[in-house]
Amino acid sequence: MTAQDSQNQTARKSRGRPRDWHDKTAQNTIKSLDRAMEVFEFLSEAQGKTLSTLAADMGQSPATIYRILVTLEGRGLVEFDQIDQVWHIGPRAFVIGARFLRRTSLVDRARPIMRQLMEQTGETANLGIEQNGHVLFVSQVETHASIRAFFPPGTLSRLHASGIGKALMAQMDTARVDKLLAARPLEEFTTFTLTRRDALLADLAETRARGFAIDGEERNLGMRCIAAPVFDLHGEAVAGISVSGPTSRVGADRVADFSPAVVAAARDLTAAVGGVPPTAQT
């Protein structure tokens, strides 16, 4: 590197961040902004909450939470339902999230593969990533059928009650799984949800062995999902791809028909992003 190159690199750094950018102490944080983002993130996981419920759940005064919500509402990040008197994430949040998604090639490269998967199976194809103990759905290609699964980008679902979630958990090491299970109880959504640790771990072991996960009405009654993991260049599972549909079309007897297409789609997307499955690493 020449002296001129070094000077140019230094100039670029100084324009992008201050000299003490690495200092994350209180003097370099804005407490009110941090509190607002905490409320925003909490609401994103627990949409449809009243002001009093939000305040109680977060241990804050209703007045404080209200000021934050009104400020976020002014930016379109949250919105208030006048009829039900509850707060939701607003449309602006999706716009900002969509801009983030454009930074990565994962979603773009997944689209043709998901479209082909939908055409092959006749069911909705989904793409999701793990975020703070949840599956964040980032893309979807809907089936043409009138009755179909619907997980719009931005939807969050608990890992243990999701096909993609279990596909990702099955690839995690024991320490990480233990940490996730210790963070919050296994919430029951239907009578089929795996709420016992031993039952979930057994399911994850089976998922890992066969290469795909099954959500058999564990999140929504009448819906079944088949999912497989997508790996990065380090052989780590960074996303999951799935098909989901009503049990009237995706019955337990159809798993053997659908799963090869799902596994193949996950393999194709892994290759498209330059990834390698763990067994392929040298």
- Residue 104 is predicted with a pLDDT of 58
Under the banding of pLDDT at 50, 70 and 90, the label for residue 19 is low
pTM, two decimal places:
0.66
Any idea of the CA torsion for 117, 123, 127, 128, to the nearest 10 degrees? -150
Under the banding of pLDDT at 50, 70 and 90, the label for residue 207 is very high
CB 82 within 8 A of CB 73: no
Whether residue 17 has pLDDT greater than 90:
no
Under the banding of pLDDT at 50, 70 and 90, the label for residue 3 is low
Which uninterrupted H or E stretch holds 56? helix 51-58
Strand partners of residue 224:
216, 245
Average pLDDT rounded to a whole number, residues 159-176: 95
Q: Within 122-173, where are the H helices?
A: 163-169
Whether residue 14 has pLDDT greater than 50:
no
- Residue 223 is predicted with a pLDDT of 94
- Domains parsed from the chain with CATH numbers: 3-94 (1.10.10.10), 104-280 (3.30.450.40)
Condensed to tens digits (0 to 9), the pLDDT of residues 29-72 reads: 688 898 899 999 888 877 788 999 999 999 999 999 999 999 99
Residue spans of beta strands (DSSP E) within 6-95: 78-81, 86-89
More confident site: 73 or 100: 73
List the end-to-end C-alpha distance of the chain, in Å, as a whole number. Answer: 33
Whether residue 26 has pLDDT greater than 60:
no
Condensed to tens digits (0 to 9), the pLDDT of residues 97-132 reads: 766 655 557 888 899 999 999 999 999 999 999 988
- Residue 122 is predicted with a pLDDT of 93
